[in-house]
Amino acid sequence: MTATEPLWKKISDTLRTEIALGAWPAGTRLPSEALLAKRFDVNRHTVRRALQALSDEGLVHARRGAGVFVRAAPLRYPIGRRTRFRQNLLSAGRSPSRKLLSLTRQAASAAEARALDIAAGAPVHVVEAISMADDLPVSLARSCFCATRLPDLDAGLRALPSVTDALARVGISDYFRASTHLTGHNANALQARLLEIAVGDALILSEAINIDGSGIPVEFGRTYFVGARVELVLEGPDTPDAVM
């Protein structure tokens, strides 16, 4: 450290060392800009520059309205024949939760009808939700289910913590991944706000069809995963086809 070294760099070096030594564990919220400015006797602009440097290195991330947090290692998320969000998180030692955004009954679009093998315009339950790991948003999903076949599914989707539990309540005791297609995207303003990331941040779109034991489609889902927070792992030999 030299006498001419910028103040923001001295601050980022100090915080980086503290993070490495475990003073601020993964997932921990750093002190506010005001508190850091007081600690280092600088203005908030200098603190903001130091935090931006740590963010550029991937050590911290800002959550809109919540503060700056030490970045956890990406969640390892296996995709295979029996993909389950809740179980994937529990297996990784993370706490799963879901924030329901909307639950409606709509007419199936052409793409939804093809995926669910129903007539275009047939009624479908549409659920939109944010999935979280340790209260950090990791994905934004929109899932469709045939409302004619599963007329009471919406009650379970509203009341229960997972899609698996809701399907079990209406008689779908097990289901399997028939296909998964993956493509890269950049977050738009709405996605960025809901996922607490910056506009333009990398997202991975997973379009998947789940079927029951008889091969009948039960769910068509489109899920946007935050690229920096999730590591998607395609498992074999039952790994579904994937298009990158």
Q: pLDDT digits over 56-76, tens only?
A: 877 888 877 788 988 877 888
Residue 209 is predicted with a pLDDT of: 97
Three-state secondary structure call for residue 9: helix
Structural domain count of the chain: 2
Residue where a domain terminates, one of 44, 70, 96: 70
Give the CATH number for residue 122: 3.40.1410.10
Which residues span the domain enclosing 203?
A: 75-234
Is there a domain that residue 240 lies in?
no
**Which pLDDT band, with edges at 50, 70 and 90, does 153 fall under?**
very high
Give how far Cα 214 sits from Cα of 27, 31, 76, 198, Å: 42, 54, 30, 42
Structure tokens at 220: 């068509």
**Which pLDDT band, with edges at 50, 70 and 90, does 237 fall under?**
low
**Percentage of residues in the chain with pLDDT exceeding 70?**
95
**Percentage of residues in the chain with pLDDT exceeding 90?**
60
The sign one gets for the Cα dihedral 127, 101, 157, 91 is positive
Is there a domain that residue 2 lies in?
no
Give the residue-averaged pLDDT of 161-177. Answer: 92
Q: What are phi and psi of 161, to 5 degrees?
A: -75, -15
Place of tokens 């469709």: 144
- Of 220, 217, 189, 218, whose CA–CA distance to 203 is shortest? 189
Residue where a domain terminates, one of 15, 37, 70: 70
Give the CATH number for residue 64: 1.10.10.10
Are 228 and 119 found together in one domain?
A: yes
DSSP assignment of 88-145 = HHHHTT--EEEEEEEEEEEEPPHHHHHHHTS-TT-EEEEEEEEEEETTEEEEEEEEEE
Are 113 and 220 found together in one domain?
A: yes
Are 57 and 139 found together in one domain?
A: no
Give the residue-averaged pLDDT of 34-43. Answer: 94
- Cβ contacts of 158 within 8 Å, gap of 6 or more: 100, 103
Residue where a domain terminates, one of 20, 39, 70: 70
Please say if the pLDDT value at position 243 is more than 50.
no
Please say if the pLDDT value at position 1 is more than 50.
no
Residue 242 is predicted with a pLDDT of: 36
Residue 3 is predicted with a pLDDT of: 56
Across the chain, mean pLDDT equals 89
Residue type, 131: S
